[in-house]
Amino acid sequence: MDRGGAVSTAVEDPVATRQAPPEQAEKSGGLGVVLTPVRGQLVVAAVLQLIGAVAGLAPYIAVVEIARDFLGAAVVDRDAVWLCVVVAAVGFVVRTICATTAYTISHVADADVGLKIRRDTARRLSRVPLGWFTERSSGQVKRVLADDVAAVHHAVAHVVNDLVAAVVTPLIALGYLFWLDWRLALLCLGPLVVWFGLVAYMMRDEGERTARWSAELDKVNAAVVEFVDGIAVVKAFGQAGRAQDRYRRAGDDLARFLSEWAGGMRHLDSLASMIISPPVMLLVALAGGVWLDADPAELVAFVMLAVGLGAPVLALGFGAQAMQVATDAASRVAKLLAAPELPGAAEPRRPAGARVELDGVRFSYDGRTFVLDGIDLVLEPGTVTALVGSSGSGKSTLARLLPRFWDVDEGAIRIGGVDVRDVSEQDLYRQIGFVFQETSMLRTSIGDNIALGRPDATRAEIEAAARAAQIHDRIMSLPRGYDSVVGEDAQLSGGEAQRVTIARAILADTPVLVLDEATAFADPESEAAVQDALSSLVSGRTLLVIAHRLHTIRSADRIVVLAGGRVVESGSHDDLIASGGEYARMWATQTAASEEPA
């Protein structure tokens, strides 16, 4: 609010960037974005492949000329024959060298593309708002970095070379055959024309069928994830059979669609493949040659070259599906690389103190519906402010605005008198620490996970933080203690992982701390100890706590009740109980539930 003309920019840009990039990425063409950095290398590979394709016809032409000498001359010119042999050998060597070099260049380009995608993605993900990650699963990011990069391999390493081989080689061969005998060449061209016609007929409505295939495949994937993730629950309630039925139905639907899709086309596909198969092309060349009384030497050329016309064309057809997969993968890569970055501070300023102010804060995820609407709140240093409210009231959203998971649409959030948008990223995360319900553990040692916020921390400081979070004894029971690697020799439960993140926050020792039900997964025995450990952080610090269990925040200096994205009540526990409002109703409900007999 106090940023003058800069407010409109900060307000409008985040919403616009949340909406625009996917559409822009689709319009720009993902494959073009991916291939642009290696376009020069691919052009060189294509030229080499073209030279190799031309040189590859030399042995066939040499054989025709040798046949012409043997069949047409009374005395064979051995020097001419040997010259043809040399030309054939040179052509074969040139073709081999050019093709090998072309594929080497394209595969090196593919490695460059993969490395660039991963580096660019890492840079992009380091600059996107933290909220971007909460809206997407790690599986989506993994799919781009692993599966999609692998799928793009075909487009980079093979498409250009295969296209040149599949198009140029038959064209040059047909040109040579037309030069020898245009009548017989037309006969040999006939099967190819029929093949293209059948393929064009089979490819009608291909886009619609491909979209349905993707949808059916998504249903199967969802059923698999549901079954695997929920196996313990469904078995506990005797519903394993029902969960399996959902998976079976999804699989049956996919198989039924595939049968409908491929079943009606399999006869035509078999017919098309047969028409340009070597035996059929050989029969056409021989029958046409006899019918047209072709020159025997020229007939040799047709027998050799016409038989090979179908193979490159079939390869082109088989590569079309891989190209479609690569194009879709490149589109997803381009969308990820177009993810909106969090605007940086033009002139970074450092906060002076730990006082947090929320001034007229409004925020929406879609630019239309505000989930926070006019929040005015001050969090004083050395105090505990608790946010409570029903599900969907905006508690977690408000807490995530402090560390700039997103930027506000209207208003301002200040720390130490400085708008968080004017604080550099490094300074901001030195000021704010957070522990949310969703735990995040890196595949590295337990010690490194705790020291994530302070990589220079000593082992003694790491252990002290772990003891305060009541996780030290569990860590020492692991095979290598603090050197145990998460996911390898350290398998932690949800509550244990959350206590590791609490130890991380304790070690970071930031002036402002945000806790979103930080003890939600802690067992009853350690919850009180963890609460005591967290209480030791309050001195001189600003603590914002999101609580669902109201008994955990009875002693908070201030309790703020949210409803519909607005502050409806604020005060101490006793004052709010006495007022008989929304908090009193929530307290009565939870108290009654806890007193019911098991």
Q: pLDDT (tens digit, 0 to 9) for every residue of the chain, 598 residues total?
A: 344 333 333 333 333 333 333 333 443 456 777 778 888 888 999 899 889 888 888 888 888 878 777 776 666 677 888 888 898 899 899 999 999 999 999 889 888 888 888 888 777 777 777 666 665 555 566 666 667 777 787 778 887 888 887 788 888 888 888 888 888 888 888 888 888 888 777 777 666 766 676 667 667 766 666 666 555 555 555 555 555 666 677 777 777 777 766 666 667 777 777 888 888 888 888 888 888 888 887 888 888 887 777 777 777 766 666 777 777 777 778 877 777 777 777 788 888 888 899 999 998 887 778 888 888 999 988 888 889 888 888 888 888 888 888 888 899 999 988 988 888 888 888 888 887 776 777 888 999 989 987 888 899 999 998 888 878 988 999 889 999 988 788 888 777 887 888 888 888 888 888 887 665 555 565 566 556 656 655 666 788 888 877 887 888 889 999 988 898 999 999 899 998 888 899 888 888 766 554 4
Residue 302 lies in a domain: no
Residue 306 lies in a domain: no
Residue 283 has a pLDDT of 87
Q: How many domains does the chain have?
A: 3
C-alpha Rg value of the chain to the nearest Å:
35
Same domain, 98 and 234: no
Quote the domain boundaries for residue 216: 189-294
Same domain, 513 and 581: yes
Residue 207 has a pLDDT of 63
Q: Which helix (H) or strand (E) holds 66?
A: helix 58-72
User: Nearest CA to 163 among 7, 320, 34, 38?
Assistant: 320
Cα distance between residue 376 and residue 550, in whole Å: 22
Q: Are 356 and 516 in contact (CB under 8 A)?
A: no
Same domain, 205 and 115: no
User: Nearest CA to 245 among 256, 253, 236, 237?
Assistant: 253
Q: Are 52 and 102 in contact (CB under 8 A)?
A: yes
Q: Exposed (0-12), middle (13-18) or buried (19+): which is 109, by Cβ within 10 Å?
A: buried
Same domain, 413 and 441: yes
Same domain, 203 and 174: no
What CA–CA distances, in Å, run from 17 to 20, 343, 345, 419? Answer: 5, 10, 17, 21
Helix axes 78-125, 149-157, angle to 10 degrees: 150
Residue 76 has a pLDDT of 67
Cα distance between residue 356 and residue 347, in whole Å: 20
Same domain, 258 and 334: no
Same domain, 14 and 127: yes
Residue 460 has a pLDDT of 92
CB atoms within 10 A of CB 250: 21
Residue 533 makes CB contacts below 8 A (sequence gap 6+) with 468, 469, 470, 502, 506
Residue 102 has a pLDDT of 92
Q: Are 60 and 305 in contact (CB under 8 A)?
A: yes
Q: Are 301 and 289 in contact (CB under 8 A)?
A: no
User: Nearest CA to 272 among 321, 203, 199, 170?
Assistant: 199
Cα distance between residue 363 and residue 376, in whole Å: 13
Cα distance between residue 43 and residue 551, in whole Å: 69
Cα distance between residue 336 and residue 331, in whole Å: 9
Residue 495 lies in a domain: yes
What are the backbone angles phi and psi of residue 74, rounded to the nearest 5°?
-70, -35
Query: Can you give the CATH number for the domain in which 492 is found?
Result: 3.40.50.300
Q: Which helix (H) or strand (E) holds 544?
A: strand 542-546
- Print the SS3 string covering 186-220: HHHHHHHHHHHHHHHHHCCCHHHHHHHHHHHHHHH
Same domain, 132 and 207: no
Same domain, 119 and 263: no
Q: Which helix (H) or strand (E) holds 388?
A: strand 383-389
Q: Which helix (H) or strand (E) holds 434?
A: strand 432-435
Q: Are 439 and 447 in contact (CB under 8 A)?
A: no
Query: Can you give the CATH number for the domain in which 92 is found?
Result: 1.20.1560.10
User: Nearest CA to 397 among 383, 407, 410?
Assistant: 407
Residue 376 lies in a domain: yes
Q: Are 403 and 131 in contact (CB under 8 A)?
A: no
User: Nearest CA to 547 among 391, 356, 439?
Assistant: 391
User: Quick check: helix, strand or coil at residue 412?
Assistant: strand
Residue 534 has a pLDDT of 60
Same domain, 446 and 538: yes
Q: Where are the alpha helices (DSSP H) in 135-181?
A: 138-142, 149-157, 159-180
By residue count, the chain amounts to 598
Q: Which helix (H) or strand (E) holds 222?
A: helix 206-229
Residue 340 makes CB contacts below 8 A (sequence gap 6+) with 14, 17, 18, 20, 21, 128, 129, 132
Residue 456 lies in a domain: yes
Residue 348 lies in a domain: no
Same domain, 438 and 536: yes
Same domain, 321 and 396: no
Instruction: Tell me the two tokens of residue 520.
Output: 């939600």
Residue 238 has a pLDDT of 53
Helix axes 78-125, 58-72, angle to 10 degrees: 170
What CA–CA distances, in Å, run from 485 to 142, 461, 470, 500? Answer: 20, 19, 19, 13
How wide is the angle at C-alpha 575 spanned by C-alphas 570 and 576, nearest 5°? Answer: 55
Residue 498 lies in a domain: yes
How wide is the angle at C-alpha 171 spanned by C-alphas 187 and 328, nearest 5°? Answer: 115
Per-position DSSP letters for 95-129, written without gaps between them:
HHHHHHHHHHHHHHHHHHHHHHHHHHHHHHHTTS-
Residue 97 lies in a domain: yes
User: Quick check: helix, strand or coil at residue 445?
Assistant: strand
Cα distance between residue 9 and residue 16, in whole Å: 10
Q: Are 177 and 184 in contact (CB under 8 A)?
A: yes
Q: Are 190 and 198 in contact (CB under 8 A)?
A: no
